[in-house]
Each structure stands twice: as C-alpha cells, then as structure tokens.
Amino acid sequence: MPPSASLPPKPRRRLRRRLLAITIGLLVGAIVLEIGSAIAVNAGLFSARVPTYAIGKSAATFWGDLNPEFGVWHPPHTSFRHQKACFDVTYESNSYGARDVERERVADHPRVVVLGDSFMEGYGVAREERLSDVLERETGTPFLNFGTSGNAGSTHAFALYSRFAMQFRHDAVLAAILPENDFDDDVPKPDRYQAYWAGGHPDFELRYTLPNIEQSSYRYRAAEAEFDLQHFLREFTYTKNVVDLLYSAHKQSRARQKIAGQAGQSESRFFRFEAAELQRLCHSYERLAAAAAPRPVVLFTIPRLTDFADHVAKGSNPLDDALAEWAAEIDNLHFVPLLPALVAAHGNDLSQLFLSCDAHWSATGHRAAAQILLERAGKHLLTR
C-alpha cells in the first residue's frame, strides 16, 4: 500500500465510539423515561409508589412468613414508611407484631378481635383512620387489630385466630372477606409458608405448604440483604415503580380474564367463584365461629370499586346471597354484605371511598364501612 494512502480507523477506536454513542443514548433515554414517569405518577396517571431517595427499610422488613402457626405476619417493634402518589404513611407494629397500639392479653373489660387482610390492616391510611380505630372511638370498646397484608385469606384468618388471637381476652370477633383475592389466597403456594385446607368438603384437614417456615421465599434475611438492587431502584427512581405497577396490572388482568372464562361474563369475584372455593371459605369461618362460640362473630364482604357495576346492573350478587343463606344456619355468626349498603349510601360517588392512587379504602371508605357495621351489627360489636 502506498505510504500516502489514508488508513481506515482502527477497529478498537471505532468500537469505542459506538459504545460511547450507545451509552449516551441509553443514558438520555433513561433520563427521559424517569422524567416522564415522575410526571405521570405525580399527575395521578399511574398509582405507583413514590421514591423516597433514601435507603430505608423495604416492605420485606415489615411483612413476611414469620409465624409457624399461621404464616404471614409482622416482626415486633418494626416500622415501614409506605409512599404512593396520594399517601405517605408509616406503619408500626407493637410487641407481638400487630399494627396496633399495645394491648395486654388479659383485660377486665369487653374487647373485639379484628381479622382480615390489607383493608383491615389499614393499607395506605394512618392507623387512626382505619375501620377498627373508627369503631373503637364510636363504641368506646377496644378493637384489637390482627389484620395483615401478604396472602391473608380465610384459612389464614382461622389459623391466626385459633392459634394466636384467641389468647387475648375478647368478647366478639369482626372478620372481613375480600372476594377479589381471598379465594386465591387460600390456594397453597409452593414457595410460601401458609396454612391451607387439604382434601374436600366436608373432610378438610389443616396443613402447611412447607415443612419449615425458614424455607419460605417471603422472608427478610438480613445476611442476604447487604445490597438489594430492586429495593435501591424503587427508592431512587419513579421508572422502577411504574414498571412494577404495570407488570402487576398485567398479571391481574390475565388472572381476571382467566377467571371470567369467556367474553361477556363478569370478572368480579362476587359473581365468579367455584363451589369448591366457596366451601373452603365457609369451612374456615365455620371453624372460626365454633372456636369463638359463644362469642358473636360478625363477618362482612368488602367490594373493590370494580365490583359495583355488575351488582348495580343485576340488583344483587350470588356470593353475598350464598353467604347470607349459609350464615343464617350458624347461631353466633352474623353476616353483613357491605356492597349493597355502600351503593345505597354512596351510589352517586363511590370513588370517594377509595384512594385516588390505589384500590384500597380511603379514610372516607373506612368511615363509611364503620357506619354500616354499626347500623347492621352494632349490638354484636359491644356498643356501649
């Protein structure tokens, strides 16, 4: 080759330029995506949690499969700050792991035990705003809250009550059913430690999914938590939280479509449930009522905002009808269907009952539910 001829760029130099261009493009794209996600979340377009820009405790430190008797619970004396676009709440547990004020096991006055999942726990609202605390103020009777998020269905409620909550002096029980996920929460998950009913009606047997609670995937392990990239991204970026939200919504949508089975059928679990699912749920509360007797047990169903349309269109729903008929045969069990009562009282603006960025109750929703329970079952809730 003649000395005067120009040589082509060296391959390494060309590769470095391409890598630099790709890196800059990815960085600019990530910044644009983060700005867009922040705008969308703060404008209320997505109900994703808000980054705290601090390395604090993750949700895994507040909920986990911790109790060998009933599974998911909170560690004692633990707190977790939970943020989304429409709320900023710090949850705190007491000495025995409940999100509640400190309670003694022995008492010389009437009290009520409260059971349920994230709605009863008070997801997204201050402790003072949730249903049990509203009822305590209205009645003057202590309501001991044993609610928890994290796969707490009817079997969990029975196991928690019969093996733990019963140790606290009480004179009545208030228990909530969330049809949207309680049927599914009662299905055993192979990687979770949970109580479940094996066999079929009427020969159910209480079993646990794993031989040892330490084998559960839903546990915080400090030794393995030196650096959690997922937690870091959630605390410092809107994008990660939006991606988590969209992925969760996608899974829920596919599950609902599977439940509905075919086009034109309701996806609401007030309308779509199998006989075996209902038998399992009823068995849990039959056993709970028997364990509580002669104390009264007030059981009620919680509708999501998406459950109202089909009920309004049809005037009733088969789940509440079936539960009312079943509960009437059990002396100390009293059933309150919230869905029709909420429609009657708040039909013009049901959305106010729910958080604007989440599917759980707002403080208004908790007050509305408390009012209905006092009207329909106040005599069983030890109203003074």
User: Dihedral of CA 309/311/317/323: which sign?
Assistant: positive
pLDDT > 70? residue 305? yes
Average pLDDT along the chain: 89
Please give the average per-residue pLDDT across 312-328, as a whole number: 95
Tens digits of residue pLDDT in 100-116: 999 999 999 999 999 99
Per the CB < 8 A criterion, the answer to whether 64 and 221 are in contact is no
CA–CA dist 351, 346 (Å, integer): 9
Q: What is the CATH number of domain 59-380?
A: 3.40.50.1110
Please give the average per-residue pLDDT across 336-347, as a whole number: 95
Tens digits of residue pLDDT in 43-56: 878 777 778 776 66
Q: Residue 263 — pLDDT band, cuts 50, 70, 90?
A: very low
Structural domain boundaries in the chain:
59-380
For position 383, what pLDDT does the model report? 59
Q: Residue 229 — pLDDT band, cuts 50, 70, 90?
A: confident
Tens digits of residue pLDDT in 119-169: 999 999 999 999 999 999 999 999 999 999 999 999 999 999 999 999 999
Q: Write the CA distances from 372 to 131, 145, 207, 346, 369, integer angstroms.
A: 11, 19, 36, 11, 5
pLDDT > 80? residue 4? no
pLDDT > 70? residue 252? no
User: Does pTM top 0.75 for this prediction?
Assistant: yes
